[in-house]
Amino acid sequence: MRTSRLFCAAGLFMAAVVAVALIPVPADAAKTIKLHHLNKDDPFDNATGAMATVFKSLVEAGTNGALEVQTFPNGQLGKDNDVVAQVKSGVIQSGIHSVGGFASAYPMMGVIDVPFAFPNISVTYAVFDGPFGSKLASDIEQKTGLKVLGFGDSGGFFHFTNSKRPITSPEDMKGLKIRTMGLDTHKAVVSSLGGQPAAIAWTEVYTALQTGVADGQMNPVPIIAFAKFNEVQKYLTLSGHLFAPYVWVVNMDFWKGLSAAEQSVVSYAAKSAIVAGRGVSRAIEASERGLASLSKDMKVNSLTPDQLAKFRDAAMPAVKQIIAEKHGAEGEAMMKAFLDAVAAASK
């Protein structure tokens, strides 16, 4: 009798499964945006966490659920440059990428790496939200086939940390092994100052610093803080030598498959999310979680205007030369447009 009941229950269960499977899927079923980003899915911890959270909320609410956003944080889908390829092929729909990762698809990202170009953080926003940002996005779209949603804040200006000594002049950089992204322009910044650039994958940086494979690295304050580099680095120099935005892209075929209304929602959601990411970066940088926290474990020094001039004089010509050699007249033209935009926004 018990066996009979079990068979009966199993039969009813299988019937239910078959019935569900046979239910027709409505034509307006939700489209999915799988979104890659590099950090924790926490809107209060880091910029991409804030960007992904705000984007998901605005897109799903703005389309009444017709578009669903699934986030894949902490590089779950692979190395950043590999995920760019996944977005291009349509395996996933969107990614928020570092310039280092995105350069695999668009090598001319290096034209924005002219060191010490920006006078302050607000100018970076004006440049990447303005005509130059549109020009760069258009060139990226033409050469990669990826739709650009915008340029986010990766944490602010890059600064040097190291475990050996304070850095107050280019001479202090001599012999230091400094981790960089794989970009030739980033390597040129370090080598022009007398350091030894070491291209190390992001996931391996903490261990490299801990074991002495690298003496130092360069990143914005919020990234230095949440990566806990203060545990393995003794000195922080507020050099502010680079600003490297996140590049946010979406698969072009997926984009074209959206209705005009859906494209509008995705576009404004990304722009709003980028603003949120900038706010989180500035708040972390200025709060107890940022510079104040790092200064408890690290010796922090800022470069004076005269010291900055020496760094700029050493690094800027070297990087400009790399851009000219690697990207030719086209790269020089884009670099000029970048520097002209910085000058205009600085007035």
Q: Which DSSP letter does residue 89 get?
A: H
Distance in angstroms (rounded) separating the CA atoms of residues 235 and 244 = 22
Bridge-partner residues for 238, per DSSP? 302
Instruction: Give the three-class secondary structure for 287.
Output: coil
Q: Which domain holds residue 222?
A: 159-242+288-346
For residue 6, being part of any structural domain is answered with no
For residue 26, being part of any structural domain is answered with no
**Residues 17-73: tens digit of each pLDDT:** 333 333 333 345 589 999 999 999 999 999 999 999 999 999 999 999 999 999 999
**Residue 323: both structure tokens together:** 């851009």
Same domain, 227 and 103: no
**Residues 77-118: tens digit of each pLDDT:** 999 999 999 999 999 999 999 999 999 999 999 999 999 999
In single-letter form, the type of residue at position 239 comes to S
Same domain, 136 and 61: yes
Same domain, 94 and 123: yes
Same domain, 260 and 279: yes
pLDDT of residue 201: 85
CB 322 within 8 A of CB 186: no
Same domain, 260 and 303: no
For residue 21, being part of any structural domain is answered with no
Instruction: Give the three-class secondary structure for 302.
Output: strand
Task: Indicate the pLDDT class of residue 16, thresholds 50, 70 and 90.
Answer: very low
Question: Is 261 exposed, middle or buried, given 0-12, 13-18 or 19+ CB atoms closer than 10 A?
Answer: exposed
Quote the number of domains for the chain: 2
**Residues 158-196: tens digit of each pLDDT:** 999 999 999 999 999 999 999 999 899 999 999 999 999
Same domain, 310 and 334: yes
Same domain, 133 and 278: yes
pLDDT of residue 29: 58
Ordered strands of the 146-152 beta sheet: 67-72, 31-36, 94-97, 246-251, 146-152
Same domain, 193 and 268: no
**Average pLDDT of the chain?**
91
For residue 13, being part of any structural domain is answered with no
Number of Cβ within 10 Å of residue 110's Cβ equals 24
For residue 18, being part of any structural domain is answered with no
Same domain, 124 and 217: no
pTM for the full predicted model = 0.88
Q: Is the pLDDT at 2 greater than 50, yes or no?
A: no
For residue 23, being part of any structural domain is answered with no
CATH code of 38's domain: 3.40.190.170
Number of Cβ within 10 Å of residue 167's Cβ equals 25
For residue 8, being part of any structural domain is answered with no
Same domain, 73 and 148: yes
pLDDT of residue 203: 83
For residue 71, being part of any structural domain is answered with yes
Same domain, 292 and 281: no
